[in-house]
Structure 1
Amino acid sequence: MRAFAAVARRRSFTQAAQELLITQPALSRTVGQLEAALGVRLLDRSSRGAALTDTGAEFLVHAERTLAAFDAALAAARHESALRLGFSWLLPDPWAQQSIARFERDTGARLELVRCDDPLVALDRQGVDVALVRGGKPVGGAVRTVHLYDERRVAVHAREEPAGGGREGSRGTPPQAVPDVVRWQDAPEWTLVVNTASGTTGPWCWPDGDGPHRYVETANFDEWLESVAAGRGLGVVPDVAERRIHHPALRFRPLTGAPPSPVRLVYRTETGTGSPLLRRFLDAALEAAVTCTHAGEA
Protein backbone atom coordinates (compact mmCIF):
# COMPACT_ATOMS: atom_id res chain seq x y z
CA MET A 1 0.00 0.00 0.00
CA ARG A 2 2.84 2.40 0.81
CA ALA A 3 4.48 1.54 -2.51
CA PHE A 4 1.27 2.34 -4.39
CA ALA A 5 0.84 5.62 -2.51
CA ALA A 6 4.39 6.68 -3.39
CA VAL A 7 3.84 5.99 -7.11
CA ALA A 8 0.49 7.79 -7.01
CA ARG A 9 2.07 10.82 -5.36
CA ARG A 10 5.10 10.95 -7.67
CA ARG A 11 3.27 9.86 -10.84
CA SER A 12 6.46 7.95 -11.61
CA PHE A 13 7.78 4.49 -10.73
CA THR A 14 11.34 5.77 -11.08
CA GLN A 15 10.92 8.65 -8.63
CA ALA A 16 8.88 6.54 -6.21
CA ALA A 17 11.57 3.84 -6.21
CA GLN A 18 14.19 6.46 -5.38
CA GLU A 19 12.04 7.77 -2.53
CA LEU A 20 11.50 4.28 -1.10
CA LEU A 21 15.13 3.23 -1.66
CA ILE A 22 14.23 0.11 -3.64
CA THR A 23 14.72 -0.91 -7.25
CA GLN A 24 12.13 0.00 -9.86
CA PRO A 25 11.43 -3.66 -10.81
CA ALA A 26 10.82 -4.51 -7.15
CA LEU A 27 8.46 -1.57 -6.80
CA SER A 28 6.60 -2.53 -9.96
CA ARG A 29 6.17 -6.11 -8.70
CA THR A 30 4.91 -4.87 -5.33
CA VAL A 31 2.27 -2.63 -6.89
CA GLY A 32 1.33 -5.40 -9.31
CA GLN A 33 0.81 -7.79 -6.39
CA LEU A 34 -1.50 -5.27 -4.72
CA GLU A 35 -3.54 -4.88 -7.91
CA ALA A 36 -3.74 -8.67 -8.28
CA ALA A 37 -4.89 -9.08 -4.68
CA LEU A 38 -7.59 -6.43 -5.16
CA GLY A 39 -8.57 -7.64 -8.62
CA VAL A 40 -8.52 -4.10 -10.04
CA ARG A 41 -6.15 -1.85 -11.96
CA LEU A 42 -5.03 1.09 -9.83
CA LEU A 43 -2.54 2.70 -12.21
CA ASP A 44 -2.30 3.26 -15.94
CA ARG A 45 1.32 2.83 -16.98
CA SER A 46 2.89 4.54 -19.99
CA SER A 47 6.27 5.76 -21.18
CA ARG A 48 5.40 9.16 -19.67
CA GLY A 49 4.85 7.77 -16.19
CA ALA A 50 1.94 6.45 -14.14
CA ALA A 51 -1.57 7.87 -13.81
CA LEU A 52 -4.30 6.92 -11.38
CA THR A 53 -7.34 5.13 -12.70
CA ASP A 54 -10.70 6.20 -11.30
CA THR A 55 -10.59 3.19 -8.99
CA GLY A 56 -7.00 4.02 -8.05
CA ALA A 57 -7.91 7.60 -7.14
CA GLU A 58 -10.70 6.37 -4.85
CA PHE A 59 -8.45 3.73 -3.31
CA LEU A 60 -5.68 6.29 -2.71
CA VAL A 61 -7.91 8.31 -0.36
CA HIS A 62 -8.50 5.27 1.85
CA ALA A 63 -4.89 4.09 1.53
CA GLU A 64 -3.49 7.40 2.75
CA ARG A 65 -5.84 7.42 5.73
CA THR A 66 -4.89 3.84 6.57
CA LEU A 67 -1.17 4.59 6.31
CA ALA A 68 -1.54 7.70 8.47
CA ALA A 69 -3.41 5.71 11.12
CA PHE A 70 -0.78 2.96 10.99
CA ASP A 71 2.05 5.46 11.37
CA ALA A 72 0.25 7.08 14.29
CA ALA A 73 -0.16 3.67 15.95
CA LEU A 74 3.55 2.97 15.50
CA ALA A 75 4.43 6.34 16.98
CA ALA A 76 2.20 5.70 19.99
CA ALA A 77 3.70 2.24 20.49
CA ARG A 78 7.19 3.72 20.41
CA HIS A 79 6.12 6.51 22.78
CA GLU A 80 7.06 9.10 20.19
CA SER A 81 5.67 12.53 20.88
CA ALA A 82 5.12 14.63 17.77
CA LEU A 83 2.61 16.91 16.09
CA ARG A 84 2.41 17.25 12.30
CA LEU A 85 1.93 20.73 10.81
CA GLY A 86 0.90 20.79 7.16
CA PHE A 87 1.77 23.78 4.98
CA SER A 88 1.98 24.45 1.27
CA TRP A 89 4.65 27.14 0.87
CA LEU A 90 6.78 29.64 2.79
CA LEU A 91 5.91 29.30 6.45
CA PRO A 92 5.41 32.81 7.88
CA ASP A 93 8.44 34.26 9.60
CA PRO A 94 9.27 34.85 12.37
CA TRP A 95 5.97 33.32 13.49
CA ALA A 96 6.92 29.77 12.52
CA GLN A 97 10.29 29.80 14.24
CA GLN A 98 8.88 31.31 17.43
CA SER A 99 5.90 28.94 17.52
CA ILE A 100 8.02 25.84 16.98
CA ALA A 101 10.59 26.89 19.57
CA ARG A 102 7.94 27.62 22.23
CA PHE A 103 6.02 24.42 21.56
CA GLU A 104 9.04 22.14 21.64
CA ARG A 105 10.52 23.88 24.68
CA ASP A 106 7.29 23.71 26.68
CA THR A 107 6.25 20.16 25.74
CA GLY A 108 9.43 18.27 24.91
CA ALA A 109 7.58 17.07 21.81
CA ARG A 110 8.66 17.50 18.21
CA LEU A 111 6.81 19.52 15.57
CA GLU A 112 7.06 17.78 12.21
CA LEU A 113 6.79 20.04 9.16
CA VAL A 114 4.90 18.41 6.29
CA ARG A 115 4.86 20.24 2.95
CA CYS A 116 1.83 19.40 0.83
CA ASP A 117 0.15 20.98 -2.17
CA ASP A 118 -3.18 21.24 -0.32
CA PRO A 119 -2.90 21.16 3.49
CA LEU A 120 -6.68 20.86 3.88
CA VAL A 121 -6.73 17.66 1.84
CA ALA A 122 -3.85 16.33 3.93
CA LEU A 123 -5.79 17.25 7.08
CA ASP A 124 -8.92 15.49 5.85
CA ARG A 125 -6.90 12.36 5.03
CA GLN A 126 -5.23 12.51 8.45
CA GLY A 127 -1.81 13.04 6.92
CA VAL A 128 -1.32 16.02 9.25
CA ASP A 129 -2.73 17.05 12.62
CA VAL A 130 -3.08 20.78 11.94
CA ALA A 131 -2.85 22.82 8.75
CA LEU A 132 -1.58 26.33 8.13
CA VAL A 133 -3.93 27.97 5.63
CA ARG A 134 -3.59 31.37 3.99
CA GLY A 135 -6.35 33.46 2.47
CA GLY A 136 -10.09 33.61 3.04
CA LYS A 137 -11.11 30.61 0.96
CA PRO A 138 -13.81 28.57 2.77
CA VAL A 139 -12.38 25.54 4.56
CA GLY A 140 -15.50 23.36 4.67
CA GLY A 141 -16.93 20.81 7.10
CA ALA A 142 -15.95 19.30 10.41
CA VAL A 143 -12.99 21.53 11.19
CA ARG A 144 -12.20 24.46 13.44
CA THR A 145 -10.10 27.47 12.58
CA VAL A 146 -7.89 29.80 14.60
CA HIS A 147 -7.11 33.20 13.10
CA LEU A 148 -3.50 34.21 13.73
CA TYR A 149 -3.02 37.51 11.91
CA ASP A 150 -3.31 39.14 8.48
CA GLU A 151 -0.72 39.53 5.75
CA ARG A 152 -0.49 42.35 3.23
CA ARG A 153 -0.97 41.45 -0.42
CA VAL A 154 1.40 42.47 -3.21
CA ALA A 155 1.24 42.01 -6.98
CA VAL A 156 3.83 40.13 -9.01
CA HIS A 157 4.39 39.81 -12.74
CA ALA A 158 6.99 38.72 -15.26
CA ARG A 159 9.87 41.13 -15.79
CA GLU A 160 9.53 40.71 -19.54
CA GLU A 161 6.11 41.72 -20.82
CA PRO A 162 4.93 38.99 -23.23
CA ALA A 163 1.87 39.17 -25.42
CA GLY A 164 -1.18 38.80 -23.19
CA GLY A 165 0.50 40.01 -19.99
CA GLY A 166 -1.11 40.91 -16.70
CA ARG A 167 -3.34 43.65 -18.15
CA GLU A 168 -4.84 43.51 -21.62
CA GLY A 169 -6.08 46.34 -23.75
CA SER A 170 -9.08 46.19 -26.04
CA ARG A 171 -9.08 43.63 -28.86
CA GLY A 172 -6.43 44.32 -31.47
CA THR A 173 -4.28 46.51 -29.20
CA PRO A 174 -1.13 45.44 -27.39
CA PRO A 175 -1.32 44.66 -23.65
CA GLN A 176 -0.77 47.52 -21.24
CA ALA A 177 2.37 47.46 -19.11
CA VAL A 178 1.85 46.62 -15.45
CA PRO A 179 1.91 49.94 -13.53
CA ASP A 180 4.41 50.67 -10.77
CA VAL A 181 1.53 50.53 -8.27
CA VAL A 182 -1.28 48.05 -8.95
CA ARG A 183 -4.81 48.90 -7.76
CA TRP A 184 -7.22 46.26 -6.48
CA GLN A 185 -10.11 48.18 -8.05
CA ASP A 186 -8.58 47.49 -11.47
CA ALA A 187 -9.04 43.74 -11.02
CA PRO A 188 -11.57 43.45 -13.89
CA GLU A 189 -8.72 44.33 -16.27
CA TRP A 190 -6.45 41.56 -15.02
CA THR A 191 -5.59 38.13 -16.26
CA LEU A 192 -5.03 36.57 -12.83
CA VAL A 193 -2.93 33.47 -12.24
CA VAL A 194 -4.55 31.43 -9.44
CA ASN A 195 -3.18 28.65 -7.26
CA THR A 196 -6.40 26.67 -6.85
CA ALA A 197 -5.04 24.40 -4.10
CA SER A 198 -3.47 26.83 -1.64
CA GLY A 199 -3.55 30.32 -3.13
CA THR A 200 -4.78 33.40 -1.31
CA THR A 201 -6.36 35.25 -4.22
CA GLY A 202 -8.88 33.78 -6.64
CA PRO A 203 -12.51 33.98 -7.75
CA TRP A 204 -13.63 33.51 -4.13
CA CYS A 205 -12.33 37.04 -3.41
CA TRP A 206 -15.03 38.49 -5.68
CA PRO A 207 -18.25 36.65 -4.76
CA ASP A 208 -20.30 39.14 -6.77
CA GLY A 209 -18.38 38.26 -9.93
CA ASP A 210 -16.75 41.67 -10.36
CA GLY A 211 -13.18 40.34 -10.32
CA PRO A 212 -10.69 39.62 -13.12
CA HIS A 213 -12.08 38.93 -16.56
CA ARG A 214 -9.85 35.88 -17.03
CA TYR A 215 -8.20 33.35 -14.74
CA VAL A 216 -5.27 31.04 -15.39
CA GLU A 217 -5.51 28.10 -13.00
CA THR A 218 -2.54 26.25 -11.54
CA ALA A 219 -2.46 23.28 -9.16
CA ASN A 220 0.17 24.32 -6.60
CA PHE A 221 2.53 27.09 -5.56
CA ASP A 222 5.42 26.12 -7.82
CA GLU A 223 3.17 25.98 -10.89
CA TRP A 224 1.71 29.35 -9.92
CA LEU A 225 5.16 30.90 -9.50
CA GLU A 226 6.50 29.68 -12.83
CA SER A 227 3.28 30.55 -14.67
CA VAL A 228 3.57 34.15 -13.48
CA ALA A 229 7.27 34.16 -14.43
CA ALA A 230 6.31 32.87 -17.88
CA GLY A 231 4.01 35.85 -18.37
CA ARG A 232 0.70 34.01 -18.20
CA GLY A 233 -0.79 36.83 -16.15
CA LEU A 234 -0.64 38.79 -12.93
CA GLY A 235 -0.17 37.14 -9.55
CA VAL A 236 -1.31 38.35 -6.12
CA VAL A 237 0.43 36.94 -3.06
CA PRO A 238 1.21 37.82 0.58
CA ASP A 239 4.23 40.08 0.97
CA VAL A 240 6.26 37.28 2.56
CA ALA A 241 6.89 36.14 -1.01
CA GLU A 242 8.47 39.47 -1.92
CA ARG A 243 10.88 39.17 1.01
CA ARG A 244 11.86 35.57 0.46
CA ILE A 245 11.49 34.72 -3.23
CA HIS A 246 14.36 35.86 -5.42
CA HIS A 247 13.31 34.83 -8.92
CA PRO A 248 15.16 36.57 -11.76
CA ALA A 249 12.06 36.56 -13.96
CA LEU A 250 9.70 38.15 -11.43
CA ARG A 251 8.99 41.71 -10.35
CA PHE A 252 6.89 42.59 -7.31
CA ARG A 253 4.68 45.69 -7.17
CA PRO A 254 2.74 47.41 -4.37
CA LEU A 255 -0.97 46.59 -4.41
CA THR A 256 -3.31 49.27 -3.06
CA GLY A 257 -6.87 48.80 -1.84
CA ALA A 258 -6.58 45.03 -1.40
CA PRO A 259 -8.20 43.34 1.59
CA PRO A 260 -5.81 41.68 4.04
CA SER A 261 -5.02 38.01 3.61
CA PRO A 262 -5.73 36.02 6.80
CA VAL A 263 -3.37 33.38 8.15
CA ARG A 264 -5.21 30.58 9.95
CA LEU A 265 -4.62 27.25 11.63
CA VAL A 266 -7.18 24.57 10.83
CA TYR A 267 -7.68 21.29 12.65
CA ARG A 268 -10.24 18.50 12.77
CA THR A 269 -12.91 19.00 15.39
CA GLU A 270 -12.48 15.55 16.94
CA THR A 271 -8.70 16.01 17.18
CA GLY A 272 -8.92 19.33 18.98
CA THR A 273 -11.05 17.97 21.79
CA GLY A 274 -8.65 15.16 22.65
CA SER A 275 -5.12 16.28 21.85
CA PRO A 276 -3.14 18.05 24.57
CA LEU A 277 -0.26 18.53 22.12
CA LEU A 278 -2.50 20.34 19.65
CA ARG A 279 -3.85 22.63 22.36
CA ARG A 280 -0.30 23.47 23.45
CA PHE A 281 0.69 24.23 19.87
CA LEU A 282 -2.32 26.50 19.38
CA ASP A 283 -1.32 28.39 22.53
CA ALA A 284 2.26 28.78 21.26
CA ALA A 285 1.02 29.84 17.82
CA LEU A 286 -1.28 32.53 19.19
CA GLU A 287 1.42 33.84 21.51
CA ALA A 288 3.87 34.08 18.62
CA ALA A 289 1.27 35.80 16.43
CA VAL A 290 0.82 38.55 19.02
CA THR A 291 4.54 39.22 19.32
CA CYS A 292 5.44 39.01 15.62
CA THR A 293 6.27 42.40 14.15
CA HIS A 294 3.85 41.91 11.27
CA ALA A 295 1.00 40.42 13.27
CA GLY A 296 -2.27 42.14 12.50
CA GLU A 297 -1.00 43.89 9.38
CA ALA A 298 -3.65 44.78 6.86
Structure 2
Amino acid sequence: MDLELRHLRAYLAVAEERNYTRAAQRLHMTQPSLTRTIQQLERIVDCRLIERTSRRFALTDEGEQFLTTAGRIVADLDAAIADLQLRSAVSIGFSWLLPDIWFAAARTRFETLGGHVEIHRIDDPIAALLSGGIDIALLRKDIRLPAQLATRAIAVERRVLAVSARSPLAHARQLRWDDAARYPLVVNTITGTTDETSWTAPHPDRTIVTCTNFDEWIELIAADRGIGAVPELARTRAPHPGVVYLDIPDAPPSHVRLVWRATPAPARSVQRFLDVA
Protein backbone atom coordinates (compact mmCIF):
# COMPACT_ATOMS: atom_id res chain seq x y z
CA MET A 1 0.00 0.00 0.00
CA ASP A 2 1.25 3.47 -0.88
CA LEU A 3 1.17 6.46 1.41
CA GLU A 4 -1.96 8.56 0.78
CA LEU A 5 -3.06 12.01 1.83
CA ARG A 6 -5.73 10.48 4.09
CA HIS A 7 -2.97 8.84 6.14
CA LEU A 8 -1.26 12.17 6.70
CA ARG A 9 -4.48 13.99 7.61
CA ALA A 10 -5.43 11.23 10.04
CA TYR A 11 -2.02 11.34 11.69
CA LEU A 12 -2.08 15.13 12.00
CA ALA A 13 -5.53 15.06 13.59
CA VAL A 14 -4.51 12.41 16.14
CA ALA A 15 -1.24 14.18 16.95
CA GLU A 16 -2.95 17.55 17.37
CA GLU A 17 -5.95 16.29 19.36
CA ARG A 18 -3.89 13.80 21.41
CA ASN A 19 -7.04 11.71 21.51
CA TYR A 20 -8.44 9.20 19.03
CA THR A 21 -12.09 9.95 19.85
CA ARG A 22 -11.78 13.69 19.30
CA ALA A 23 -9.66 13.17 16.18
CA ALA A 24 -12.23 10.78 14.71
CA GLN A 25 -15.02 13.31 15.33
CA ARG A 26 -12.96 16.03 13.68
CA LEU A 27 -12.41 13.85 10.61
CA HIS A 28 -16.05 12.67 10.53
CA MET A 29 -15.06 9.01 10.74
CA THR A 30 -15.39 6.23 13.29
CA GLN A 31 -12.69 5.63 15.89
CA PRO A 32 -11.99 2.04 14.69
CA SER A 33 -11.57 3.33 11.12
CA LEU A 34 -9.15 6.01 12.33
CA THR A 35 -7.18 3.44 14.31
CA ARG A 36 -6.84 1.23 11.25
CA THR A 37 -5.67 4.19 9.17
CA ILE A 38 -2.92 5.00 11.70
CA GLN A 39 -1.88 1.35 11.79
CA GLN A 40 -1.68 1.33 7.99
CA LEU A 41 0.50 4.43 8.12
CA GLU A 42 2.90 2.81 10.58
CA ARG A 43 3.15 -0.27 8.39
CA ILE A 44 3.87 1.87 5.34
CA VAL A 45 6.67 3.85 7.03
CA ASP A 46 7.76 0.71 8.91
CA CYS A 47 8.06 2.63 12.15
CA ARG A 48 6.03 3.15 15.33
CA LEU A 49 4.84 6.75 15.47
CA ILE A 50 2.55 6.74 18.53
CA GLU A 51 3.13 5.22 21.96
CA ARG A 52 -0.02 3.40 22.99
CA THR A 53 -0.56 3.08 26.73
CA SER A 54 -3.67 3.23 28.88
CA ARG A 55 -2.38 6.21 30.88
CA ARG A 56 -0.92 8.66 28.36
CA PHE A 57 -0.78 9.61 24.74
CA ALA A 58 2.67 10.34 23.31
CA LEU A 59 4.48 10.45 20.00
CA THR A 60 7.71 8.55 19.59
CA ASP A 61 10.83 10.45 18.57
CA GLU A 62 10.20 9.28 15.03
CA GLY A 63 6.58 10.37 15.39
CA GLU A 64 7.60 13.89 16.42
CA GLN A 65 9.94 14.15 13.44
CA PHE A 66 7.29 12.79 11.06
CA LEU A 67 4.72 15.24 12.46
CA THR A 68 6.79 18.19 11.26
CA THR A 69 7.24 16.72 7.81
CA ALA A 70 3.61 15.66 7.46
CA GLY A 71 2.37 19.06 8.58
CA ARG A 72 4.54 20.83 6.03
CA ILE A 73 3.43 18.51 3.19
CA VAL A 74 -0.28 18.90 3.94
CA ALA A 75 -0.01 22.67 4.40
CA ASP A 76 1.88 23.08 1.12
CA LEU A 77 -0.60 20.89 -0.73
CA ASP A 78 -3.63 22.69 0.73
CA ALA A 79 -2.12 26.05 -0.21
CA ALA A 80 -1.43 24.87 -3.78
CA ILE A 81 -4.97 23.51 -4.15
CA ALA A 82 -6.51 26.70 -2.75
CA ASP A 83 -4.45 28.81 -5.15
CA LEU A 84 -5.53 26.75 -8.15
CA GLN A 85 -9.17 26.84 -7.07
CA LEU A 86 -9.08 30.62 -6.74
CA ARG A 87 -7.54 30.97 -10.21
CA SER A 88 -9.98 28.58 -11.87
CA ALA A 89 -12.06 29.85 -14.77
CA VAL A 90 -15.83 29.71 -15.12
CA SER A 91 -17.25 29.88 -18.63
CA ILE A 92 -20.62 31.59 -19.13
CA GLY A 93 -22.61 31.27 -22.33
CA PHE A 94 -25.25 33.70 -23.55
CA SER A 95 -27.11 34.06 -26.82
CA TRP A 96 -27.86 37.78 -26.88
CA LEU A 97 -27.94 40.92 -24.75
CA LEU A 98 -25.74 40.03 -21.81
CA PRO A 99 -27.03 42.13 -18.86
CA ASP A 100 -23.96 44.35 -18.63
CA ILE A 101 -24.52 45.99 -15.23
CA TRP A 102 -25.29 42.69 -13.50
CA PHE A 103 -22.43 40.91 -15.25
CA ALA A 104 -19.86 43.60 -14.43
CA ALA A 105 -20.79 43.42 -10.74
CA ALA A 106 -20.82 39.61 -10.61
CA ARG A 107 -17.52 39.32 -12.46
CA THR A 108 -15.87 41.88 -10.17
CA ARG A 109 -17.01 40.04 -7.05
CA PHE A 110 -15.91 36.67 -8.41
CA GLU A 111 -12.53 37.84 -9.68
CA THR A 112 -11.86 39.64 -6.40
CA LEU A 113 -11.81 36.13 -4.93
CA GLY A 114 -9.16 35.17 -7.47
CA GLY A 115 -11.28 33.44 -10.12
CA HIS A 116 -11.59 34.24 -13.81
CA VAL A 117 -14.73 34.53 -15.93
CA GLU A 118 -14.88 33.63 -19.61
CA ILE A 119 -17.90 34.66 -21.69
CA HIS A 120 -19.07 33.02 -24.92
CA ARG A 121 -21.76 34.22 -27.35
CA ILE A 122 -23.59 31.03 -28.35
CA ASP A 123 -26.81 30.57 -30.32
CA ASP A 124 -27.95 27.70 -28.07
CA PRO A 125 -26.44 28.00 -24.56
CA ILE A 126 -28.47 25.07 -23.18
CA ALA A 127 -27.04 22.69 -25.78
CA ALA A 128 -23.55 23.99 -24.99
CA LEU A 129 -24.19 23.48 -21.27
CA LEU A 130 -25.36 19.90 -21.75
CA SER A 131 -22.34 19.08 -23.92
CA GLY A 132 -19.91 20.53 -21.36
CA GLY A 133 -18.85 23.44 -23.56
CA ILE A 134 -19.76 25.99 -20.88
CA ASP A 135 -20.28 25.92 -17.10
CA ILE A 136 -23.24 28.30 -16.78
CA ALA A 137 -25.85 29.43 -19.29
CA LEU A 138 -27.69 32.74 -19.16
CA LEU A 139 -31.25 32.15 -20.33
CA ARG A 140 -34.31 34.32 -20.89
CA LYS A 141 -36.57 31.79 -22.57
CA ASP A 142 -39.06 30.05 -20.28
CA ILE A 143 -38.65 26.39 -21.22
CA ARG A 144 -38.74 23.02 -19.52
CA LEU A 145 -35.16 22.07 -18.68
CA PRO A 146 -33.61 18.58 -18.57
CA ALA A 147 -33.63 17.00 -15.11
CA GLN A 148 -29.83 17.29 -14.68
CA LEU A 149 -29.96 21.10 -14.92
CA ALA A 150 -30.74 23.57 -12.15
CA THR A 151 -31.84 27.17 -12.59
CA ARG A 152 -32.05 30.38 -10.59
CA ALA A 153 -33.78 33.64 -11.56
CA ILE A 154 -31.51 36.67 -11.21
CA ALA A 155 -33.50 39.51 -12.80
CA VAL A 156 -36.82 40.70 -14.20
CA GLU A 157 -36.69 42.89 -17.30
CA ARG A 158 -39.26 45.20 -18.87
CA ARG A 159 -40.30 44.15 -22.35
CA VAL A 160 -40.62 46.52 -25.32
CA LEU A 161 -42.20 46.02 -28.73
CA ALA A 162 -39.86 46.01 -31.73
CA VAL A 163 -41.26 47.10 -35.10
CA SER A 164 -39.84 48.07 -38.46
CA ALA A 165 -39.15 51.76 -38.93
CA ARG A 166 -41.33 51.43 -42.06
CA SER A 167 -44.28 50.03 -40.10
CA PRO A 168 -47.28 52.27 -39.28
CA LEU A 169 -46.83 51.02 -35.71
CA ALA A 170 -43.53 52.90 -35.48
CA HIS A 171 -45.53 56.08 -34.83
CA ALA A 172 -48.29 54.54 -32.74
CA ARG A 173 -49.28 56.18 -29.49
CA GLN A 174 -50.68 54.51 -26.38
CA LEU A 175 -50.30 51.03 -27.83
CA ARG A 176 -51.29 48.20 -25.52
CA TRP A 177 -50.03 44.61 -25.45
CA ASP A 178 -53.25 43.06 -26.73
CA ASP A 179 -53.31 45.53 -29.62
CA ALA A 180 -50.24 43.75 -31.06
CA ALA A 181 -51.83 40.29 -30.99
CA ARG A 182 -53.07 40.41 -34.60
CA TYR A 183 -49.81 41.48 -36.29
CA PRO A 184 -47.36 39.01 -37.87
CA LEU A 185 -44.85 37.91 -35.25
CA VAL A 186 -41.14 37.14 -35.60
CA VAL A 187 -40.09 34.41 -33.14
CA ASN A 188 -36.57 33.36 -32.20
CA THR A 189 -37.38 29.72 -31.48
CA ILE A 190 -34.12 28.93 -29.65
CA THR A 191 -33.64 31.76 -27.15
CA GLY A 192 -36.34 34.36 -27.81
CA THR A 193 -38.50 35.65 -24.97
CA THR A 194 -41.69 36.12 -26.95
CA ASP A 195 -43.82 33.78 -29.06
CA GLU A 196 -47.52 33.44 -29.91
CA THR A 197 -48.28 32.08 -26.42
CA SER A 198 -47.15 35.38 -24.87
CA TRP A 199 -50.64 36.72 -25.64
CA THR A 200 -53.64 35.38 -23.75
CA ALA A 201 -55.89 35.76 -26.81
CA PRO A 202 -53.72 35.45 -29.94
CA HIS A 203 -55.31 36.12 -33.31
CA PRO A 204 -56.27 32.76 -34.93
CA ASP A 205 -54.89 33.74 -38.35
CA ARG A 206 -51.71 35.34 -37.10
CA THR A 207 -48.62 34.83 -39.26
CA ILE A 208 -45.59 33.45 -37.40
CA VAL A 209 -42.11 33.98 -38.89
CA THR A 210 -39.40 31.90 -37.20
CA CYS A 211 -35.64 32.20 -36.87
CA THR A 212 -32.98 30.74 -34.58
CA ASN A 213 -30.87 33.66 -33.32
CA PHE A 214 -31.04 37.34 -32.42
CA ASP A 215 -29.19 38.60 -35.49
CA GLU A 216 -31.72 36.94 -37.81
CA TRP A 217 -34.57 38.14 -35.61
CA ILE A 218 -33.63 41.83 -35.71
CA GLU A 219 -33.05 41.77 -39.48
CA LEU A 220 -36.49 40.23 -40.03
CA ILE A 221 -38.01 42.96 -37.85
CA ALA A 222 -36.16 45.63 -39.84
CA ALA A 223 -37.44 44.06 -43.08
CA ASP A 224 -41.01 44.47 -41.76
CA ARG A 225 -41.69 40.73 -41.84
CA GLY A 226 -43.40 41.07 -38.48
CA ILE A 227 -43.18 42.56 -35.00
CA GLY A 228 -41.38 41.21 -31.96
CA ALA A 229 -40.78 41.87 -28.29
CA VAL A 230 -37.51 41.92 -26.36
CA PRO A 231 -36.16 43.16 -23.03
CA GLU A 232 -35.81 46.94 -22.78
CA LEU A 233 -32.05 46.47 -22.72
CA ALA A 234 -32.18 46.07 -26.51
CA ARG A 235 -32.94 49.77 -26.90
CA THR A 236 -29.40 50.70 -25.85
CA ARG A 237 -27.52 47.47 -26.49
CA ALA A 238 -28.94 46.58 -29.91
CA PRO A 239 -29.95 49.75 -31.76
CA HIS A 240 -30.75 49.22 -35.45
CA PRO A 241 -31.51 51.93 -38.02
CA GLY A 242 -34.42 49.89 -39.34
CA VAL A 243 -35.99 49.05 -35.97
CA VAL A 244 -38.03 51.14 -33.53
CA TYR A 245 -38.54 50.03 -29.92
CA LEU A 246 -41.89 51.00 -28.41
CA ASP A 247 -42.86 51.18 -24.74
CA ILE A 248 -45.90 49.04 -23.94
CA PRO A 249 -47.03 49.79 -20.36
CA ASP A 250 -48.81 46.47 -19.85
CA ALA A 251 -46.28 44.23 -21.63
CA PRO A 252 -45.48 41.14 -19.56
CA PRO A 253 -41.93 41.21 -18.16
CA SER A 254 -39.27 38.67 -19.08
CA HIS A 255 -37.00 36.85 -16.65
CA VAL A 256 -33.27 36.28 -16.72
CA ARG A 257 -32.05 32.98 -15.31
CA LEU A 258 -28.76 31.24 -14.70
CA VAL A 259 -28.71 27.55 -15.59
CA TRP A 260 -26.03 25.04 -14.61
CA ARG A 261 -25.45 21.30 -14.39
CA ALA A 262 -26.62 20.05 -11.01
CA THR A 263 -25.80 16.40 -11.78
CA PRO A 264 -23.00 15.70 -11.24
CA ALA A 265 -22.48 18.37 -8.60
CA PRO A 266 -20.92 21.57 -9.99
CA ALA A 267 -17.26 22.37 -9.44
CA ARG A 268 -16.39 24.61 -6.51
CA SER A 269 -15.56 27.49 -8.86
CA VAL A 270 -19.02 27.26 -10.47
CA GLN A 271 -20.71 27.18 -7.06
CA ARG A 272 -18.61 30.15 -5.93
CA PHE A 273 -19.75 32.17 -8.96
CA LEU A 274 -23.37 31.23 -8.29
CA ASP A 275 -22.95 32.38 -4.70
CA VAL A 276 -21.69 35.84 -5.69
CA ALA A 277 -23.99 36.24 -8.70
TM-score, length-scaled by structure 1: 0.60
* 3-state SS in 1 of match to 2:133: coil
TM-align CA RMSD? 2.2
% of aligned pairs identical?
42
Q: Distance in 2 between matches of 1:209 and 1:131?
A: 32
Structure 2 CA distance for partners of 1:159 and 1:279, relative to 1, 3 Å:
same
Q: Which residue of 2 aligns with 1:131?
A: 137
Identify the match of residue 185 of structure 2 among 172, 192, 207.
192
Change (3 A) 1:283 1:198: same
Q: Which runs of 4+ in 1 moved over 4 A?
A: 175-178
Residue 176 of structure 1 and its aligned partner are, at CA, apart by 7.0
Q: Deviations over 1:53-85 (max 9, x none)?
A: xxxxxxxxxxxxxxxxxxxxxxx9xx6721110
Q: Which letter does structure 1 place at the counterpart of 2:233?
A: V
Does 2:276 align with 1:284? yes
Name the CA distance, whole Å, in 1 between partners of 2:103 and 2:133. Answer: 20
Question: In structure 1, what residue type is equivalent to 2:274?
Answer: L
Q: Does 1:235 align with 2:213?
A: no
Aligned partner of residue 182 in structure 1, secondary structure? coil
Q: Give secondary structure in 2 for the equivalent of 1:270.
A: coil
Change (3 A) 1:126 1:233: same
Tell me, yes or no, if structure 1 residue 214 matches structure 2 residue 221. Answer: no
Letter in 1 for 2:276: A
Equivalent residue of 1:103, what SS? helix
Change (3 A) 1:152 1:176: closer
Work out the CA distance in 1 between the residues paired with 2:269 and 2:241.
Answer: 41
Question: Does residue 1:223 correspond to 2:216, yes or no?
Answer: yes
Counterpart for residue 201 of structure 1: 194
Are residue 264 (structure 1) and residue 257 (structure 2) matched? yes
CA contact (8 A) 1:89 1:221 kept: yes
Contact 1:137 1:200 in 2 (8 A): no
Larger radius of gyration: 2
Shift of 1:177: 6.7
Instruction: Using structure 2 for the length normalisation, give the TM-score.
Output: 0.64
Q: Paired residue for 2:75?
A: none
Aligned mates of 1:102, 1:122 — CA distance in 2: 25
CA distance in structure 1 between the partners assigned to 2:95 and 2:173 by the alignment: 29
Alpha-carbon distance, 1:154 to partner:
0.1
Structure 2 residue aligned with 1:52: none
- Match of 1:283, as an amino acid? D
* 1:22-101 mapped onto 2 (5 Å cutoff): 81-101=88-108
Q: Deviations over 1:162-212 (max 9, x none)?
A: xxxxxxxxxxxxx87762343212243121111111111113435x77367
Structure 1: runs of 5 or more not aligned: 1-75, 162-174, 286-298
